[in-house]
Amino acid sequence: MKNTLLTFSFLFILKIGLSQNSNYNKNEVSIGIINLTESPKNQENLFENSYYLMPFSNLTYKRFLNERNALRLTYFRPIDKSYDKSRGSLINMGEYKEQVLKIGYEYIFKQKRLTPYLAIDFSYFKSTSLRETGGGFAGSYNGSENEIKGFGLSPTIGINYNIFKGIYIGLESNLSILKFNEEKITSTSQIYPESDGARITEKDDYFEYIFNPVDFLVKFKF
């Protein structure tokens, strides 16, 4: 479903853009060179600080409807992090994976060398995580599996600076307001002696906010 939505959105943007006739650049591709964003909740073993830096984090394609209005499609590089602090018979390991896609609208103020803009994106979010602990003298095992899917809106402010014909640098900041659907599976068992253990599934719906204070971009218009 995610790939179908992405393909349909791209074709829709391209079709609208092709119907426009003007002498300005109709396309823009931007690369997120460095991105400072809020760390995932309850992942302190992988993200030590409240915010983390991610290089080459995203790729955005924009199709301009006119000089002031554009549609935008953003693909974020997946996060795939893991750790293994197990020692001897002690188990301590985990992993975290995340994928984000956005499609939205952008309004550009009067284009000068320094140009501000506003945008609103519809965001899709999916993450999975796993945490395993136990072993040692107690001989117990504890596992936690989480899957989160979310949709929401991301209001964005940004500014472009034209450094050369068709080449820009820019800064963006956004706040994603997402409705999360979370499924958590908790497993407990006894390793020594071996037992079947217990497996509990919990589901929850809630709102989450993710703040992305700075995204430094390089942009190419053509």
Query: Any idea where the domains of the chain sit in the sequence?
Result: 2-221
First vs last Cα of the chain: how many Å apart?
A: 31
Matching CATH number, 2-221, of 3.40.50.880, 3.20.20.140, 2.40.160.20, 3.50.50.60: 2.40.160.20
pLDDT of residue 212: 96
Least confident of 18-27, 37-46, 129-138, 160-169: 18-27
Span 92-105, pLDDT tens digits:
999 999 999 999 99
Q: Which two tokens stand for residue 121?
A: 């994106």
Task: Place 186 in a pLDDT band, splitting at 50, 70 and 90.
Answer: very high
Query: Does the reported pTM lie above 0.75?
Result: yes
Q: Does 65 have pLDDT greater than 70?
A: yes
